């Protein structure tokens, strides 16, 4: 596990970059677009392996250039080696990239509308001197990223396992008197000790009535007997995210709480079972809602069933009502139904699931039985 995080060859895997860049270049040729300016850092990493905090990747039909600043002179050449040539720039990267495009007489250039500010767009317009026709490409790299290869899946399997190990390890500390924020600190420390780069999002620990808030931040509140506690945590390992939710109860739960737990677990299981190629994201969401409806709890489920997972903790693929996108092998999604009862508490169970050729593989193996601690 540790080697995935520290070894650059595993993290950047240069052999996988070229086909990705070629796929974009093919699209450029097919659509008669001269170049594509990639401004979203996870997309840049995906295409050329660069991990710095300031960069723009310019792809033309025949080449790839990474624009970055002097701090990354050595790192950029090292990481993007074999995928893109590197141009170290003083001042605005966008202006440098646009000027280069203009010099190369490119006329039609695509950009990422979801990953550029209004100010940056007008800077691009100025730098290109009105000679470039800009065209918005929505989610082009994101759709490539939605299908993981075997190498990415191996890393994500390890990231999911690491999150499960952290959760198992924290259970002995979950008892009345423990502070939410202390448990969060313990969890995030444990992630790093086990080789993670860090949490993939701010760890959620929500006890008692606070468990009714799906995105509660840990507070100074102490855990008490007869409370539900929701743990939602994930790690970044080798650049890839995991996302795990488990809910426990302190002391013996009432029959009402047990029924809620059974409903969420059944709904989650029903959704996991329907996952296979060809099934739409909306159908997975429906599987959850159907079970919760049977328990008359559908109105207590106040978010969508899940999301795509990968270099970012929320990425392309929304498992929500009416989503028509069919699942394909290599998709990695979360399945995370919950019920939330204001003033009382909440229950959520979340797993990371890969769509395989024949069905699915669950990456998060932590037990789902109701823990009454």
**Secondary structure, 3-state, 15-65:** HHHHHHHHHHHHHHHHHCCCEEEECCHHHHHHHHCCCCCCCEEEEECCCEE
Q: Can residue 203 be called a binding residue for Mn ion (CB under 5 A)?
A: no
| Residues in region 277-336 near Mn ion by CB under 5 A | 334
- Tell me the per-residue interface mask from 334 to 363 with Mn ion, x by CB under 5 A, - otherwise: x-----------------------------
Q: What is the DSSP letter of 326?
A: B
Residue 89 or 268: which CB sits closer to Mn ion? Answer: 268
Name residues whose C-beta falls within 8 Å of residue 319's C-beta, 6 or more positions apart in sequence: 271, 281, 282, 284, 285, 304, 305, 306, 307, 333, 334, 335
Find the shortest distance in angstroms from Cβ 363 to Mn ion. 13
Find the shortest distance in angstroms from Cβ 226 to Mn ion. 27
- Tell me the per-residue interface mask from 129 to 158 with Mn ion, x by CB under 5 A, - otherwise: ------------------------------
Residue 190 or 334: which CB sits closer to Mn ion? Answer: 334
Residue 57 or 349: which CB sits closer to Mn ion? Answer: 349
Residue 215 or 225: which CB sits closer to Mn ion? Answer: 215
**Judged by CB under 5 A, how many residues of this single chain contact Mn ion?**
2
Cβ-based neighbour number of residue 66 at 10 Å: 28
Name residues whose C-beta falls within 8 Å of residue 291's C-beta, 6 or more positions apart in sequence: 263, 266, 267, 270
d(CA 313, CA 201): 7
Distances, alpha carbon 187 to alpha carbons 19, 51, 248, in Å:
38, 25, 16
| Residues in region 224-263 near Mn ion by CB under 5 A | 243
Residues 44, 55 contacting (CB under 8 angstroms) = yes
Residue 203 or 334: which CB sits closer to Mn ion? Answer: 334
Specify the 3-state DSSP secondary structure of 90.
coil
Find the shortest distance in angstroms from Cβ 325 to Mn ion. 18
Residues 250, 227 contacting (CB under 8 angstroms) = yes
Long-range contacts of the stretch 355-360 (C-beta < 8 A, 24+): 355/275, 355/276, 355/277, 355/327, 355/328, 355/329, 355/330, 355/331, 356/276, 356/329, 357/277, 357/329, 358/276, 359/275, 359/276, 360/272, 360/275, 360/276
Residue 194 or 348: which CB sits closer to Mn ion? Answer: 348
Residues 112, 43 contacting (CB under 8 angstroms) = yes
Pick the closest to residue 153 from 222, 56, 237 (CA basis): 237
Residue 12 or 203: which CB sits closer to Mn ion? Answer: 203
Minimal CB distance residue for Mn ion: 243
Residue 55 or 310: which CB sits closer to Mn ion? Answer: 310
Find the shortest distance in angstroms from Cβ 313 to Mn ion. 7
Residue 142 or 243: which CB sits closer to Mn ion? Answer: 243
User: What are residue 372's phi and psi, to 5 degrees?
Assistant: -110, 100
- Rule CB under 5 A: which residues touch Mn ion? 243, 334
């Amino acid at each position: 596990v540790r080697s995935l995080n520290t070894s650059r060859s595993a993290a950047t895997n240069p052999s996988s970059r070229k086909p990705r860049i070629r796929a974009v270049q093919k699209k450029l040729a097919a659509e008669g677009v001269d170049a594509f300016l990639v401004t979203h850092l996870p997309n840049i990493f995906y295409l050329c392996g660069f991990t710095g905090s300031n960069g723009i990747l310019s792809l033309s039909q025949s080449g790839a250039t990474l624009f970055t600043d002097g701090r990354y002179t050595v790192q950029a050449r090292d990481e993007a080696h074999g995928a893109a040539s590197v141009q170290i720039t003083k001042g605005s990267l966008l202006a440098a990239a646009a000027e280069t495009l203009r010099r190369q007489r490119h006329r039609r250039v695509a950009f990422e509308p979801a990953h550029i500010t209004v100010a940056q767009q007008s800077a691009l317009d100025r730098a290109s001197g009105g000679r470039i026709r800009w065209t918005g490409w929505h989610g082009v790299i994101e759709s490539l990223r939605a299908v993981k290869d075997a190498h990415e899946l191996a890393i994500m399997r390890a990231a999911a396992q690491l999150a499960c190990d952290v959760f198992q390890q924290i259970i002995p500390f979950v008892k009345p008197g423990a502070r939410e924020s202390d448990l969060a600190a313990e969890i995030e420390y444990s992630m790093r000790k086990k080789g993670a780069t860090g949490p993939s999002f701010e760890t959620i620990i929500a006890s008692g009535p606070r468990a009714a808030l799906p995105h509660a931040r840990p507070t100074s509140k102490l855990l008490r007997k007869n409370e539900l506690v929701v743990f939602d945590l994930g790690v970044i390992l080798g650049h890839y995210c995991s996302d795990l939710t488990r809910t426990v109860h302190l002391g013996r739960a009432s029959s009402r709480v047990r029924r809620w737990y059974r409903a969420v677990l059944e709904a989650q299981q029903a959704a996991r079972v329907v996952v296979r190629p060809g099934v739409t994201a909306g159908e997975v969401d429906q599987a959850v809602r159907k079970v919760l409806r049977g328990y008359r709890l559908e109105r207590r489920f106040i978010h969508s069933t899940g999301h795509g997972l990968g270099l970012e903790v929320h990425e392309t693929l929304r498992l929500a009502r009416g989503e028509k996108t069919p699942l394909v092998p290599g998709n990695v999604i979360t399945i995370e139904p919950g019920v939330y009862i204001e003033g009382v508490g909440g229950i959520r169970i979340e797993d990371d699931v890969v769509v395989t050729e024949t069905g699915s593989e669950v990456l998060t193996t932590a037990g789902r039985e109701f823990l009454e601690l």
